[in-house]
Structure 1
């Protein structure tokens, strides 16, 4: 088996490029802290057409190195992206190397398009793309399901970045059930030029609940009406159903997000929501044309904005492997 993989590697690609999507939490309900310190959640994940790109290139030796660049119109504080062993894509490649007899040294070049520390799973998308790219580079031969099982240990959002589309996430988000959602929904994203720490946002949510006497649901659930609206691609029906338990603590940590949400409403958005732990804000539009109009109005108000749609595909090889 190992000799076959080695032979595949010698005749295989030298470089593989993979794209993986960012996501919006259309609904996110959070339970109390568990014994392991994590929170149980019930979320509807939507992959959107804003893609991270990872190019894996075979190099001499057996290490993993990484470089990062940014493209697109969003504010990307690339200095916040680690270039060492803590980078999630590096961790993904090293994890796969441990179970891939044909593994070699690899350099990962990451093109960032998803806001950094923005609540859209950009780092998780990098990890998913690195897994798929290195699997192809090394001829490891893992199925998508097998890669998803490896991905779970890297973080709850990584398996979804592999899957893409629309899915319900339970547990800490790793228990994924794909949902039917074929009609595109259109959004406008407004990022911040700063990030928010996901653990800090969750801790503040616990503090807010403690001081207000709010009881967290032991087993958070998804409103079936959300999935119905998404299945139908009915943006007006979906708008009042958007929900994020992390929005209140995100707003407390970054009060300026309230001004952005208000500006989006005034600009004609059907609804706005902080994505995940923030600080990216996602505004729901009626149609592609409405999304472009909303993007223009927000930019005219001095904000950085970009129109996207979803559901988008999961991690995918972006070009034929280069020899």
Structure 2
């Protein structure tokens, strides 16, 4: 596996030149654009990696998988999916227009910004620090880490520049689809997005979902098989922003991307995959990550469709 991953990285390393790092969060603009790494946790043989596997980055929207798994476990499917939908969206992940146009003004799915904000508001902890402690604990359990820390510089940068997310939250509040203190919920959201990981961490997270909720590193049953299957399904249909359909055709596995450059993927019963590459395409997905996942899917015949 390691030899294959080294070949994949070598063949895909220059693809970063086709993208650009995120600049709308100033701290993300400082990322090393050419960083390229991949890790695989094979459920039968363990961890392998190649490239910049020690490169750290913030989870950003990959963290929405964590909060969704937590909300489903704590609140149940009925409550979660009465507040957010299950459908993919052809608009950008931070779109206000579609939310405003489509009654009953419910976020289309839990993996876009508006949906993730609503999901956080559903959690039974009412203060930001308690919500965040629960999300951070779930992230640690899913990645097999003792703790997953917030990158404070990214958190502060995101908090200071997220007018669009505030607009989404206040619109949801105005139509009765968001309860609680807006700034408190958003503070937890900004902290959640700023959790710092490596591609190896994302590989274990993906493997936990691939193993129906059991972490292959710790052996802990983190979420139920049902929750793991629901999360994988939402990842498959909605996980790559408005590029989810194309990704399903070209790669064919459940995955979730983030503008920090990470992608976490889960191949049911086989493996979890984590990639990093801060240079993004116009839809917000890692250019290098997409290239590596396409290549690996072809080589190992990973498609689930």
**TM-score tier (shorter):** under 0.3
Structure number, greater radius of gyration? 1
TM-score (norm 2): 0.26
Richer in helix (by share) = 2
